[in-house]
Amino acid sequence: MLPVPRLPSLIAWTTLLLAASTAAAEAERDQVGAMPQNLDDHEFINAVAIDDPENPLHGFHHFYVNDAGMEAFRQGGPYPVGTEFVGLIYEITRDGPIRNEGEGKAIALMEKVEGAEETGGWRFALLAPDGSAHEIDPVKDCFECHTEVRERDFVFSQPHHVGELGWTPK
């Protein structure tokens, strides 16, 4: 006779594990910002490809901004608290002259928060696809480069348009 799966204890374990991972995710959110649940209130604004495999930022980067930051994005900043930029970073696959998105490899976040004076009011985070945070030094690894565009509130991306059609909705 087959062993009967011990369902009640399985469920108890799953519940425990879920509770633990939710608590961990909440603790992480306080420190470094968390993965957005979805991109429903975000718009795609910009893309860049860094094609040198030696570069730590190698990959296709697709950037999104949430509704809270959209108007400021059109104006070139400054950004209100609650603005969130999300970068989805994909591996680059090569097939002759074609470069395409491969596996999703990381998520870059910039979130405008109260405080965070060291980083211009932005919380920078780099997350693995499962939402866990990579250990980074937000000042050295992120902010110092972003100071190049201090006058746009540290945001590089700008609205793009082809004729009347743009990646930045009007």
Residue 92 in contact with ligand HEC, rule: CB under 6 A: no
Residue 46 in contact with ligand HEC, rule: CB under 6 A: yes
Torsion angle in degrees (nearest 10) through CA of 50, 54, 57, 62: 30
Residue 48 in contact with ligand HEC, rule: CB under 6 A: yes
SS3 of 107, please?
A: strand
Q: How far is the CB of 51 from ligand HEC (least distance, A)?
A: 13
**Span from 20-28, 94-102, 103-111, 113-121 in contact with ligand HEC (CB under 6 A):** 103-111
Closest-CA residue to 85 (of 134, 10, 28, 142): 142
Residue 87 in contact with ligand HEC, rule: CB under 6 A: yes
Residue 63 in contact with ligand HEC, rule: CB under 6 A: yes
Residue 85 in contact with ligand HEC, rule: CB under 6 A: yes
CA–CA separation, 133 vs 32, rounded Å?
Answer: 7
Q: How far is the CB of 142 from ligand HEC (least distance, A)?
A: 3
Do the strands 161-162 and 165-166 form a parallel or antiparallel pair, or are they unpaired?
A: antiparallel
Residue 19, Cβ neighbours under 10 Å: how many? 10
- Looking up tokens 């030696």, which residue turns up? 54
Residues 125-154 that bind ligand HEC (CB under 6 A): 125-126, 136, 141-142, 145-146
The smaller minimum CB distance to ligand HEC, of residues 59 and 87, is found at 87
Closest-CA residue to 69 (of 46, 103, 43): 43
**Residues of the shown chain interacting with ligand HEC in the complex, contacts defined by CB under 6 A:** 46, 48, 63, 85, 87, 108-110, 124-126, 136, 141-142, 145-146, 155-157
